[in-house]
Structure 1
Amino acid sequence: MRWLALLLLASPAVADPVGITPDVMSVTVQTPSGPVEISRLQDNAAVIEGEFARIARPCPNFCIQPMVPAPGVTPIGELELLEFLADPEAVVIDGRIRPEFEAGTIPGAVSVPYTEAADRLGELGCEPDFEGFICEGEHPRVALFCNGPWCGQSPTAARRMIEAGYPAELIHYYRGGMQMWRMLGLTVVPGS
């Protein structure tokens, strides 16, 4: 009987499947490098580690951000962000500084550091003006994210974009950011 107990302890545990939703195991998004499958880590014993496991960072700079960083901006969660990634007309923006983006980002996200967001509205179809940009007509919906609920980079980017002329109703904010994305075990790729 003892050998049976030892055998059971030595056997690998069978992991229960980890889906995005009960009906969706993965989502494939198109990126400049080709298609990337986003799924959740299939290790039922996985835990978040490293910088994103730190929960007690001093405020400032790491103060809890509001759900709505500016009037008119729509907060979204992971499922809505996946819909953005699947929509070829929408743009998902990583508002973090370039080294953070390069260290790992959400597949399909483009790097627009928060310090550059107001100056790069031309990439979203706006016309330069003396006081910012003119953003009349059709423009893409954008989803901004950064490091997580305590990170002010993407909320700052949203406010700067609005001040420069981008319509607030086209801006969506994924407040969970990389911390929540990693906590849920979703696919992370190096930024390029």
Structure 2
Amino acid sequence: MKYGKVLITLALIGSVALSGLALAAPKAKITPGMESLDVVHNGKTVTIRRIDDREARIPEAYNHPSRHCPPFCIQPMQIIPGVDTVGELEVLGYLKRISNGDRSVMLVDSRTPDWTNRGTIPGSVNIPWDKINIDVAGNFEIEAEAETLQDILVNSFGVQLNDGKWDFRKAKTLVLFCNGIWCPQSSVNIKTLIKMGYPAYKLKWYRGGMQDWVSVGLTTVKP
């Protein structure tokens, strides 16, 4: 009888211990096989994971559905033929390549610094849309300075300038994003780069941007 009670007690202790381990393990995984991803942001390692808090809420900055159109119109699913529209898992895949030392890829935050200061995707580089834009007839009537644009193309994107002509053979694959499906900043930049001759297959568009990123509870960082 006593032996039976001991077995029951041990079983109860074991079940409590296992339930404790289950509670300690993160429930909000990114995928069934991925809990987190380490990336480098401004020289420091940042771990991207989902918020494991059922009481968490979307940040106030991304919690306003009403946007004046133009310029904040709903963007199409495909911005330019040949330019892939990607989601969170694809962005994480590119970030993994970057963290593994692949310098041929860059994640570009196309927003202005006032938005980036509220939080951005770890591992991204902030290159504001108005430093690239040349389409003054579009939604944003601000033209980038020629010297600034050239510096970004050559020193950030890996484009070469040979005899006054742009050479995109060694240009990086760019994954561009902004605030969300109502934000045209990254799409304007993609259109500009295409007009300049940037290969469409080297441009990727994270259409959901920051609004989708925070809506699934993924890590953000402030500069």
Instruction: Indicate whether the TM-score tops 0.5.
Output: yes
Structure 2 residue ranges without an equivalent (≥5): 1-22, 134-148
1:91 aligned to 106, 109, 125, which one?
Answer: 106
Q: TM-score, length-normalised on structure 2?
A: 0.74
* Equivalent residue number for residue 108 of structure 1: 123
Cα deviation for residue 169 of structure 1 reads 0.9
Which stretch has the larger CA shift, 121-130 or 135-144?
Answer: 121-130
Indicate whether 1:174 and 2:206 are aligned: yes
Which stretch has the larger CA shift, 122-131 or 161-170?
Answer: 122-131
Deviations 1:80-121 (A, max 9, x none): 000111112310000011211122100010011111136121
**Which SS does the other structure have where 1:128 is aligned?**
strand
Indicate whether 1:147 and 2:179 are aligned: yes
* Equivalent residue number for residue 17 of structure 1: 27
CA contact 1:121–1:166 (8 Å) conserved in 2? no
**Which SS does the other structure have where 2:172 is aligned?**
coil
Cα deviation for residue 129 of structure 1 reads 6.5
2:160 aligned to 98, 108, 127, which one?
Answer: 127
Structure 1 residue ranges without an equivalent (≥5): 1-13
* Equivalent residue number for residue 186 of structure 1: 218
CA contact 1:135–1:167 (8 Å) conserved in 2? no
**Which SS does the other structure have where 1:103 is aligned?**
coil
Cα deviation for residue 61 of structure 1 reads 1.9
How far, CA to CA, are the matches of 2:210 and 2:35 in structure 1?
20
**Which SS does the other structure have where 1:28 is aligned?**
strand
Cα deviation for residue 72 of structure 1 reads 1.6
* Equivalent residue number for residue 58 of structure 1: 68
CA contact 2:160–2:170 (8 Å) conserved in 1? no
Indicate whether 1:161 and 2:193 are aligned: yes
CA contact 2:120–2:222 (8 Å) conserved in 1? yes
How far, CA to CA, are the matches of 1:28 and 1:105 in structure 2?
15
The letter for the 1-side match of 2:29 is: G
Structure with bigger helix share is 2
Cα deviation for residue 49 of structure 1 reads 3.4
**Which SS does the other structure have where 2:129 is aligned?**
coil
Would you identify which runs of 4 or more consecutive aligned residues in structure 1 move more than 6 Å? none
The letter for the 2-side match of 1:18 is: A
The letter for the 2-side match of 1:117 is: I
Q: Looking at CA atoms only, which structure, 1 or 2, has the larger radius of gyration?
A: 2
The letter for the 1-side match of 2:42 is: P
Q: Give the superposed CA RMSD.
A: 2.0
Q: TM-score, length-normalised on structure 1?
A: 0.85
Deviations 1:41-69 (A, max 9, x none): 01012221312011121211211011222
* Equivalent residue number for residue 11 of structure 1: none
How far, CA to CA, are the matches of 1:100 and 1:49 in structure 2?
13
**Which SS does the other structure have where 2:130 is aligned?**
coil
Query: Sequence identity, in percent?
Result: 37
How far, CA to CA, are the matches of 1:85 and 1:49 in structure 2?
23
* Equivalent residue number for residue 58 of structure 2: 48
